[in-house]
A and B are shown apart, each in its own frame.
Chain A
Amino acid sequence: MITLSDIPSRSPASRALPIGILAAALLTAPWWLPAVGLYQYLGIEIAIWIIFAMGFNLLFGYAGLHSFGHGAYLGIGAYAFGLFQQHVAISLWGGLAAAIAAAALAGAIVGAFVSHRRGIYYALLTIGFGQIFWFTSMKLHSVTGGEDGLLGIPRPPLGFFGVEADLNQNIALFYLAAAFVLVSVFILWRLANSPFGRVLQAIRQNETRARFAGYDVWRFKWAAFVISAVFAGLAGGLFSMAQQSAYPDVMSLHQSGLIVMMVLVGGGLVSFWGPVLGVLIYFIARDVLGGLTETWLLWYGLMFVVMVMIRPEGLAGMFHLAGRRVRGARANPEYAAEKV
């Protein structure tokens, strides 16, 4: 059984293959999505949540900081995008910049409060702040539209170095989101495998030791929080374009818990790619189980409970163990038998 503290730090080996697979899967999605009985809009949703989950995992899986209120930053991004379109200008890049800036600002403030906490206290404080944002978005009728949220947010046309596209087409919006997924994954991959990412992993393994090694732990924890909020804000901006609305629901404790569930089920604790897997499983479960039964969340929740009980490292952890077993069996047959 792998426990949180002795998860091996991730190898910096080249991961060109997974990026290639992800890019190929994303770029061809509009052709194969309908072919397997799904629909274009699902692709947009999955792409958005991959950005959110990957950014969140820098905080959750790499730094080992369990934020339970991260839906708030997605929501703030969504509101900021919508408010920019309604009050400033109809502009894609301006809206996305506003979404990122608003989420980063909120993340910077909250991060300053929570970063000198750890363990359960960290989780509790992030729940508290998440609830405050959720509650404010419900009650600040004049700005956020209360429980109904902002409605009729336009999808501004894309203009990018001579490339023009009408994002009211789901396929066009999907390609925009997919491009952001690839850029985000690339940036996060570089961050995770930089000295910064190493320090975050050191903090996860032993915060006190990292401090005594001379790192300003508070600043690293704060930076990880802000970066994850930035990606949540980007995802939120895209989300409000996809839904053409922004509403408080995504900021609730429920949604914030779901993102933690997705990342954990996929195996974000042991793998960079875990969150992608987790997001895919969640949406496939929602659409496939949801087509069979009204209470699909009951079955997804049960699966999650069983997973935490027997394999908290998630699916990626299972692959990891299986791989180690295969490699071990090749090198030393006895080792494999006893490590099972």
Chain B
Amino acid sequence: MMAVLPHILNGLTLGLLFALIALGFTLIVGVMEVINLAHGSLFALGAYFALTVLGGDWLGATAAAEWWTSLPLASRYIAALIFGPILAAGAGLLLEMCLRPTYGKAPLYGLLLTFGAALVIEEAIRLVWGTGEQHLMLPRSIDGAVFVGGLIYSKYKFFAAAFSAAAIVAVWLFLERTPYGAIIKAGSHDSEMVRALGYDLSRLRLLVFGFGASLAGLAGVVMVPIWGLRPHVGIDVVIPAFLIIVVGGIGSFWGAVVAAIMVGLAVGLTGAYAGAWATMSMYILLILVVGFRSRGLLGRKSALEN
């Protein structure tokens, strides 16, 4: 039992991080009916923006950059955690504006456009930040190992899991307890009716896309110390994300969370016993679930089936 425990913990951490990525994805699919293949690229952008915020080389003046890097790492890290997602949201808003001509057409066009956008963002990242692997510096309070009982475990993974869980609860509260959340949820049921009630649909879409992109960016900042930061990290991330929303049921909040934890556990446990095939377990899960229940675990009938 003790031998399995770290792998289960790893799987749970991975699952919670996957859930954070998939939530933004599923919100965008639910409200806009766009499969955003650039979601992973927004994730990568969030992490790269965080890298730049941490480093301070964006400040131009040498004196300002020196002042910034002399601040304690913890406060710079918090700034990166805030500004990474905000800047990713900015990119998301830009993408939403590009998507406007595709609304009301076959969902294929949204898929194609965001695939092109993913390519463009990845190349832009190579251009700006270089092609090599980068590292996010972590403050000492969340770096290193921690002893729990007889178990040695990475402190950062605990932090990442707790942070993701808190963020998931916050998103749920936002959707359930605020008027904005109510409109977003209504929009994912029947956008025509939302418009008929007098809400500005294009503002709703902008809001949802910006929110989804900021969640992707946030997931990027938190996950990248575990996964590593490379220009093509976006494509590595978007595949589990879409797989999770398909398994969980497109547009379903809890479906995404449950499926993400399932996928995380599957990857964590396969990774422990048959390392090379860890990623494969996700696809097998996908084919098993979709083969028997095409709408996913908690999915309901969607316009995307046509």
Q: How far is the CB of A257 from chain B (nearest CB, A)?
A: 5
Query: Which of these, A118, A128, A132, A301, contacts B116 with CB under 8 Å?
Result: A301
> What residue in chain B is nearest A5 (Cβ atoms)?
B106
Q: Verify B111–A132 contact, CB threshold 8 A.
A: no
* B49 lies within 8 A of chain A by Cβ: no
Tell me which of A120, A253, A304 has the highest count of chain B C-beta atoms within 10 A of its own C-beta.
A120
* B306 lies within 8 A of chain A by Cβ: yes
- CB neighbours of B108 from chain A (8 A): 4, 66, 120, 123
- CB neighbours of A132 from chain B (8 A): 280, 283, 287
Q: Verify B283–A309 contact, CB threshold 8 A.
A: no
Q: Verify A139–B98 contact, CB threshold 8 A.
A: no
* B109 lies within 8 A of chain A by Cβ: yes
Contact with B along A93-136 (1 / 0, CB 8 A): 00000000000000000000100011111011101110110011
* B117 lies within 8 A of chain A by Cβ: yes
Bound-state CA distance A282–B242 (Å) is 28
Q: Verify B109–A298 contact, CB threshold 8 A.
A: no
* A260 lies within 8 A of chain B by Cβ: yes
Which of B122-130, B140-148, B258-266 is near enough to bind chain A? B122-130
* B291 lies within 8 A of chain A by Cβ: yes
Q: Verify B107–A120 contact, CB threshold 8 A.
A: yes
Bound-state CA distance A96–B279 (Å) is 32
> What residue in chain B is nearest A208 (Cβ atoms)?
B306
Bound-state CA distance A124–B291 (Å) is 12
Total A-B Cβ pairs within 8 A:
115
Contact with A along B244-287 (1 / 0, CB 8 A): 00100010000000000000000000000000110110010011
* B35 lies within 8 A of chain A by Cβ: yes
* B78 lies within 8 A of chain A by Cβ: no
- CB neighbours of A136 from chain B (8 A): 280
Interface residues on A, range: 35 or more
Bound-state CA distance A312–B112 (Å) is 10
- CB neighbours of A117 from chain B (8 A): 294
* A63 lies within 8 A of chain B by Cβ: no
Bound-state CA distance A118–B101 (Å) is 23
Query: Which of these, B109, B115, B279, B287, contacts A312 with CB under 8 Å?
Result: B109
- CB neighbours of B304 from chain A (8 A): 119-121
Query: Which of these, B116, B126, B277, B287, contacts A308 with CB under 8 Å?
Result: B116
Q: Verify B124–A305 contact, CB threshold 8 A.
A: no
Q: Verify A308–B294 contact, CB threshold 8 A.
A: no
Q: Verify A305–B98 contact, CB threshold 8 A.
A: yes
Q: Verify A119–B283 contact, CB threshold 8 A.
A: no
- CB neighbours of A127 from chain B (8 A): 239, 242
Report the 8 A-B pairs with minimum CB-CB distance, sorted nearest first.
A298-B123, A301-B119, A301-B120, A304-B116, A305-B116, A120-B304, A308-B113, A4-B106
Write 12 A-B pairs (CB below 8 A) sorted by A numbering: A5-B106, A124-B242, A125-B290, A128-B287, A135-B280, A136-B280, A257-B119, A295-B127, A301-B117, A308-B113, A312-B102, A312-B112
